[in-house]
Amino acid sequence: MPRNRSPIWHPFTQHALQDEMTRVVRGNGAYLHTADGGRIIDAISSWWVVTHGHCHPHIVRAIQEQAAELNQVIFAGHTHEPAEDVAARLLKCAPPGLEHVFFSDSGSASVEVALKMALGYWHHIGKQRIRIVVMQHSYHGDTVGGMSVGARGVFNEAYGPLLFDVTSIPFPATGREQDTLDALESACRNEVPAAFIVEPLILGAGGMLMYPAWVLREMKRICEASEVLFIADEVMTGWGRTGTLFACEQADITPDIVCYSKGITGGALPLAVTLCRADIFDAHYSKDRARTFFHSSSYTANPVACAAARANLDLWQDPETRQRVAAIAAMQEQAIEPFRDDARFGDVRQTGTITALDLKTSDAGYLADIGPKLHAFFKDRNLLLRPLGNTIYVMPPYCATAADLDEIYAGIKDAADALAGRNPLRA
């Protein structure tokens, strides 16, 4: 174990295989600039958070101005204008019927909040509904609750004793959608669960698996029929990624509880929110302090992060933002089309601004041997692409150009060429 390097323990990183990190000194638009003078195309929006581009001037100015005025205040018993404005504006652009906003500071935390809201609701109205239903291959974060409602496997095997049991329904694969709906209906009818949590339209870390809006709409209908709370985890799918501001719009549904994070600040600062119906809030509203919603973090509704979120909401009021989202989606569709006829790839797919394709190899899944080799190949090409095993996905900031996408997809094609024996991939 080397001891002469940085003491930092990096996320989702096996340091025995990757002992040197790329030192980034600056970001602008769709690019990251490194200490050695290199320029990297950020093809995955730095883990799906950067929407309008790195260091967007409007968001940067908002952060600077707020940091000089109020940079932090305890949010229990206090409030501030940036948070009030963000909450009000979120309720105007979110699906209708959501009335309360709870702030946190990460996508995982927003899921924990959602689960606690759901369980608290049933507890406080005097009904013992505690079971949670989830979808196969899902991912909802790395906190204990988030891991519990995510797929069991390599991500959380070591932490099994911490996790609570859930009911899992199959992913609605093409042609098997009814199996999913039948399984959900059975679980809702026979197990009387508290809630069903799902990633709308796209399962992110589970392999960028995609399913149609009509399935999402049917799942909501089934939950309504059994009075099961419907939790939409839009941490990744929100803020234009699926082609609309929020994925639930495409199914014309309003979740009972919804989680937003990542792009909420345009990718500038950590912030998250959990929105809910009025009756969920009302179940906790009482002069009995024991019915308080007991959740917080020290930086709940941090004013600087809220100022960044407010600036992000400004940008979403500009029609040009949605035009850029539509343009990126169209460019993505055009760029990925040739791969549909390339026998080396399978399940070539797209939803909105996100594309994904599976490189055919002898093994598959997150720990596929090809994963680290692909990552190293793309790094050598100055492309920030981080495959999920043999699944390569592209999720660029909305400021990316057609030339950027050409470079990204040329790199993907060249990686397949290298795998076939031309300029073999290095380990």
- The residue among 244, 181, 242 whose CA lies nearest residue 217 is 181
CB–CB of 396/45 below 8 Å? yes
- The β-bridge partners of 359 are 345
Token representation of residue 77:
């018993």
- Distance (Å) of CA 255 to CA 1, 186, 250: 48, 20, 13
DSSP conformational letter for 198:
E
Model pTM score? 0.96
Token representation of residue 227:
């009075």
Domains 24-56+321-419 and 59-317 share a fold: no
> Would you say domain 24-56+321-419 falls under CATH 3.30.1540.20?
no
Cα–Cα dist 339/359, whole Å: 10
pLDDT, one tens digit for every residue, the chain (427 residues): 556 689 999 999 999 988 789 999 999 999 999 999 999 999 999 999 999 999 999 999 999 999 999 999 999 999 999 999 999 999 999 999 999 999 999 999 999 999 999 999 999 999 999 999 999 999 999 999 999 999 999 889 999 999 999 999 999 999 999 999 999 999 999 999 999 999 999 999 999 999 999 999 999 999 999 999 999 999 999 999 999 999 999 999 999 999 999 999 999 999 999 999 999 999 999 999 999 999 999 999 999 999 999 999 999 999 999 999 999 999 999 999 999 999 999 999 999 999 999 999 988 888 888 999 999 999 999 999 999 999 999 999 999 999 999 999 999 999 999 987 655 555 4
Task: Please report how many Cα atoms fall inside a 13 Å half-sphere around the Cα of residue 89, on the Cβ side.
Answer: 18
Token representation of residue 22:
């790329």
CB–CB of 329/103 below 8 Å? no
Helix axes 319-336, 402-419, angle to 10 degrees: 30
Domain 59-317 in this protein, CATH class: alpha beta
Ordered by start, the domain boundaries in the chain are 24-56+321-419, 59-317
